[in-house]
Amino acid sequence: MRTLYLGFCARLDRLTAFVCGLACGILILSVLGTVVARLGFDAGRIELQNLAGYAFAVLLVMAVPYTLARDGHVRVEVLSERLSPGYRHRADLVALLLFLIPVFGLLAWAFLPDLAYSWSIREGAVETGGLGGVYLVKTMLPVAAVLTTLQGIAAALRDRTLES
């Protein structure tokens, strides 16, 4: 069962990596398009600016589960680098079980009423003539929270002493 779950999380991680890469590409192209339109043609495109903001938001929230799956998260504990791998594994377990999973679980659950309202009105851009679909971007927050929770559970299930 553990192997199935870790395999499932690995597939989710590949999907997350694809979404991050796509968001990064869209962000680069939309910022480049905005700059060329402004400086080259003295024209502004609010849709391109909105697209850049949306891509950045998606990249930002999806980078959290992506980073966690690679054990790239920031450790607050300054001494952890000098301590044994067994201690670091136990400290990571405590942090994952007491902090990460409850906080991101609560984030996903608490955001649902706002998300439901956003979907019900098909929330669009605040600016006139802006790009619609803000509700789609807002959907990524609870999705990223759920993915982070799943990756946290996967990290707790992995045997870090074998990897070190």
Q: What is the mean pLDDT of residues 108-137?
A: 92
Question: Tokens 């000098």, residue?
Answer: 82
DSSP classification of residue 96 = I
Residue 38 contacts residue 44 (beta carbons within 8 Å): yes
pLDDT at 76: 61
pLDDT at 164: 42
Whether the pLDDT of residue 82 is over 80: the answer is no
**Which of 104, 89, 112, 103 has the alpha carbon at shortest distance from 148?**
104
Highest mean pLDDT among 25-29, 82-86, 94-98: 25-29
**What does the domain layout of the chain look like in residue ranges?**
2-163
Alpha-carbon distance 51 to 23, whole Å?
10
Question: Which residues have a Cβ under 8 Å from the Cβ of 55 and sit 6 or more positions away?
Answer: 23, 24, 26, 27, 30
Structure tokens at 145: 């929270």
Alpha-carbon distance 9 to 61, whole Å?
17
Residue 85 contacts residue 160 (beta carbons within 8 Å): yes
- Look at phi and psi of residue 129 and say left if phi exceeds 0, alpha if psi is from -120 to 50, else beta: left
| pLDDT class of 130 with cuts at 50, 70, 90 | confident
Secondary structure (DSSP) of 141-161: HHHHHHHHHHHHHHHHHS-HH
Q: Considering the entire predicted model, what is its pTM?
A: 0.86
Residue 140 contacts residue 164 (beta carbons within 8 Å): no
